[in-house]
Amino acid sequence: MTAASGDESLVAQQTTGEDRVHMVATQLSEPRTANWIADEADWSHEPTTRVLQRLVDDGVVRCDDSGPHATYYPEYRRQAIQEAMAIRDSGQSAEAVTETLTELKSRVRAWEAEFDVDSPTQLRATIADDDLDPEAEQRRAEIAREWAHTQRRIRIVGFALREWEFLAPTTDDPAATG
């Protein structure tokens, strides 16, 4: 796993292989093979594949088997809704969450102005086009990654604000009313 070596044994001792596969698969930032996930989860391939199939069946992760090896990645819509619910349940006011959204959007506007581009993809393209030193190239690549992440956060925080009332925790038990 990617944790510090002392943490690895603690995680392995306190979680099951299935737990570790679930943690790895739901935290992926890009599609990965079952072998890669098994290595990260420190578990064997066969049970990892079975757990991944259950996660696919449950709608937690998706599987793309169009390439030479099937790859797995989180179900981003489900993840986004869960993140929006966590924002709503955090105890922050709508005003505080709005402030966070404003800060995120301000960060994007600053990058647009600094690099005279409209997207992380365009920023990445400047690495190839411009005569940059390696430090500047690395900085642009890092900002492009952060920019893409920030755009995703903007969509999720914006969704949480648009659906603030709908996402409000409720004590109603839907099973009791029916």
Domain map (residue ranges) of the chain: 5-74, 78-162
Interhelix angle 134-162/76-89, nearest 10 degrees = 70
Identify the bridge partners of residue 71 per DSSP, sorted by sequence position: 33, 64
Taking Cα atoms as reference points, which of 82, 147, 140, 136 lies closest to residue 108?
147
Q: Where are the beta strands (DSSP E) in 2-161?
A: 32-33, 61-64, 71-74
Query: Nearest 5°: phi and psi at 65?
Result: -110, 25
CA atoms within 13 A on the CB side of 138: 3
pLDDT value for 169: 84
Q: Does domain 5-74 have CATH number 3.40.120.10?
A: no
pLDDT value for 14: 73
pLDDT value for 4: 47
Taking 50 as the pLDDT cut, the residues of the chain under it are 1-6, 10, 176-178
Helix (H, G, I), strand (E, B) or coil at 67: coil
pLDDT value for 76: 86
pTM above 0.85, yes or no: no
